[in-house]
Every structure is written in C-alpha cells, then in structure tokens.
Amino acid sequence: MNWPSFFPPKCPPSEAKDASGEVFRLVYTAPPSVKDFESYAQMRPKEFIGNCEASGLSVFTAKSDALRMVRRVQALAKQGKPVPAGELVASASLSAKDGKLMHTPRNGNSHHTWWAPDGFDHAAAFKLVT
C-alpha cells in the first residue's frame, strides 16, 4: 500500500490493523469536502512534523461517540473557544484496501486514528449522517 508523502517513516505504526467496518467523522460541510479530511500534519506541518498520529484522521467506530463529540464542539463554539472539528457527522464503510486503523481512545471512547492510502477519495467515500 502506498502512503501519502507527508506521513513520517514507519507510519502507520505496525500495531495498526487493516481498516474495516463503519467509521464516523466530524465534518464541517454538507456534503463532505476535501477540506474535511485534512490531518493536523497537513494543516500545521511545522507543529506536527514527524507525528504519525497527527498524520492520520480522527474517526469513531461508534456513532454515539461521534454525536457526543458534536455536543462538545458545539459547547466550545458557544463559549467562543476554538473548535477542533465540525458539527456534522459523516460515515464510511472501510475495508482493508482503505488503509489502517488504530484504537486511540479519548476518555475510553471508540476514537480511532485512520491512515488512508495515497489517492483515497475521502469525500466520495463519506456520506453525511447528521
């Protein structure tokens, strides 16, 4: 599998598993666009240079966790604080050809980091759920 050129060496990590199943991602636009799938490493390369996890994308394997995160994002926005993600949820059904997943939970939730192969069409794969 070919990985994007901005991924650091040995990324994704060897403990990451083949992607499989439905995942949910917070997005800004309906329908999801290319900008909804930029990693932190792409948005802020100097800050995240060499950071494998920041080269991947945050997804959830439980819709309920994605919806919980939307509520957190909305609360931050109401407080005038910077928001780390959009307020819409999109989903995709992934298989091994779609990259690697690793469980990277935040407070015990279903958060995963997903590393998609070079050339993956994120916007076409994800459909809006909320």
pLDDT at 37 over 90: yes
Mean pLDDT of 8-35: 96
pLDDT at 81 over 70: no
14: three-class secondary structure by DSSP: coil
Domains of the chain by residue range: 18-128
Contact call for residues 74 and 87 (beta carbons, < 8 A): yes
Contact call for residues 23 and 112 (beta carbons, < 8 A): yes
For the chain, helix, strand, coil in percent to 5 are 30, 25, 45
What pLDDT sits at residue 82?
A: 63
Model pTM? 0.91
Owner of token pair 């279903």: 110
